[in-house]
Amino acid sequence: MTKSIKDRLQNVGLSLLFALLFVTLRRNLLIRDFYLQNFGDYSFNIYITVKLLTLVVLSGLFIINLYSFSLFRGLRQLIYSVIFMLMLAIVSLALVVSVNDSLPITLLYRPQLQGIILFLSILVMGLLFLKLVLVRKPVNVNLPMARIPFLFIGIILLIIVGQLWFSSEPRLVEELEFALLYLLLFSNLLGYFLNYLMEGSKIRGNILLALIVVSFTFIFKQSDPFASDYEGVLEAVFNVITLVILLDAFYKELFTSYLYEVEELNYQRDLYTENLKEVVEESTMELKKANETLESEIAAARRLQQSLLPMKEMVFPGASFITDNFPCERLSGDFFDIYQIDEDKVGMYILDVSGHGINAALMNIYIYNYIRSSSPLIKQLRGDKPHENLRYLYDEFNKMNFPDHMHVVIFIASYNMKTGKLTYSSGGLNVNPILVRQSGEIVDLQVDSGFPICKMADFFTPEYFSDTIQLYKGDRIFFYTDGLLDEKQGLSLGIDDLKILLLETLDEPLYVLDRALSRKIEPLKQSLADDISYFVMEAR
């Protein structure tokens, strides 16, 4: 017999000893008399308190398994979620039975409630057995979380119909139900015992412990199963201890799964690093040549990206702009564009892609091509309905095979030079443009933060909103990304400093403001921690 089998048998023995402790305490007259003498008057309150604690622990088990299902989409977690939902119903009904004896709170009679509890107990044992027999390997369930409430509602309706059907012949049905319950309980005990010996899963070991404790409390408790006397309190205490141990196992399993994924990533990283060292040692010249090619391609990509940025200064009939971009690497994760929609409107946007380098630059080009698309729908949306443009971009983004971790935050606007109205919408940009009125009033544009453009369409459908503000001649709006105010940059530039600078240069040409910002950024240009981008629009 291997050491692992011996350890598991010892754990099973400890579970039996724990269950036998219940029998010992139940039959020990000295402890019973001590309890009755000191706590007998409060027995009902103690019983209710322990049952409420049981509900709390079961709620934790239900939430953990439902959360695990939302992450890993495993059939096992879904079945456990249903089991703990049913157990919550069982404990709640048991509380109703106990309280109903002293203070009627429901029109249901005790036999009806007991029949429902018995039926739910059979379902719990049946699901445990099905899980043991049918779900031995990880099985994924492609079921959106939005449909889970409908699944639970359907299960509840089936339970109600099943209970009404089974209760049509009470005497015969009750005998059959008890026989079926004993059969399922014995089958689960044997099955989980053998399964635990073979595989050693902590979850299965703790389920076996729970089954052993339930068996002992069910068999050896001879008084009313819902009584709040000494035996009732003792049973409730042992059950809640068992559930707490089970909760700990599920909790640790959840975070162990995270750790396993991290370890697997670390292993792959180490393996890649080792292989890379071998390649470097064996093919130094080839790597050097490949590096030169890569440098040339990055330089070409940088030229392409920079060519897509708007000109440094742009003048339209009703608005003028000045722009600048300072990438922390050769390729920037920030991007912005200014373009004429028609003779009356000019469009603009500024965005920040997660990360830096080639991936971020390619994402910039994708957004650029999307916004500049000649599609009639997109041309219409970018003029009058920026929020619809973002919603359509979100849908199109999710159709692409981009990495799941990549996302874009964006602020998009269109300015009607004829009416002076700026219509804008945010897709999660975490800094608000700053409006400086010609009078000296400073206004942070009130923007619904929106939702980033990311790969979440399977789980969430965001709503975007547009706002409109009236601009007058001489008003300026400063659009920028969060890198400008990032403390890690070492610029010593806060939001208040930026607003003071905007006020000080309000009566000066736009290039004066641009030069003032450049003088702060240029000395630190080679050591930037994040990309910096901005542009200023002045209404004419």
Number of H helices, E strands in the chain: 15, 12
Q: Are 151 and 143 in contact (CB under 8 A)?
A: yes
pLDDT digit string, tens, across residues 317-359: 999 999 999 888 777 778 899 988 888 999 999 999 887 667 7
CB 108 within 8 A of CB 114: no
In DSSP terms, which residues pair with 334 in a beta bridge?
352
Report the alpha-carbon angle 477-483-487, nearest 5: 115
pTM above 0.75, yes or no: no
Which CATH number applies to 3-255? Answer: 1.20.1070
Q: How far apart are the C-alpha atoms of 48 and 76, rounded to whole Å?
A: 32
Q: Mind listing the pLDDT tens digit of every residue in the chain (540 residues)? A: 577 888 888 888 888 888 888 888 888 888 888 888 888 788 888 888 988 999 999 999 899 888 888 877 888 888 888 998 998 988 888 888 777 666 665 556 667 777 788 888 888 888 888 888 888 777 888 888 888 888 888 888 887 777 666 655 555 566 777 788 888 888 888 888 888 888 878 888 888 888 888 888 877 665 566 777 888 888 888 889 988 988 888 888 777 776 776 677 777 777 777 777 776 677 777 777 777 776 776 776 777 777 788 999 999 999 999 999 988 877 777 889 998 888 899 999 999 988 766 777 778 888 888 777 655 556 566 667 888 888 888 988 898 888 888 899 999 999 999 999 999 999 988 899 999 999 999 998 877 768 999 988 888 889 898 999 999 999 999 999 999 998 888 888 999 999 999 999 999 999 999 999 999 998 888 888 888 999 999 998
Q: Under 8 Å CB-to-CB from 340, ≥6 apart: which residues? A: 316, 346, 347
Reduced to 3 states (helix: H, G, I; strand: E, B; else coil), residue 175 is helix
Tokens of 299: 């330089």
Is 310-539 in CATH node 3.60.40.10? Answer: yes
Q: H or E stretch including 168?
A: none
Crossing angle between the packed helical segments 75-102 and 148-166, to the nearest 10 degrees: 50
Alpha-carbon distance 206 to 201, whole Å? 9
pLDDT at position 28: 82
User: Distance between CA atoms of 441 and 443, rounded to whole angstroms?
Assistant: 7
Contacts by 159-164, CB closer than 8 A, 24 or more apart: 159/86, 159/119, 159/120, 159/123, 162/119, 163/115, 163/116, 163/119
Quick one: DSSP state of residue 431? S
Task: Report the C-alpha gap between 404 and 419 in whole angstroms.
Answer: 41
Q: Are 22 and 235 in contact (CB under 8 A)?
A: yes
The token pair that represents 190 in the structure block: 């044997």
Domain ranges (residues) in the chain: 3-255, 310-539
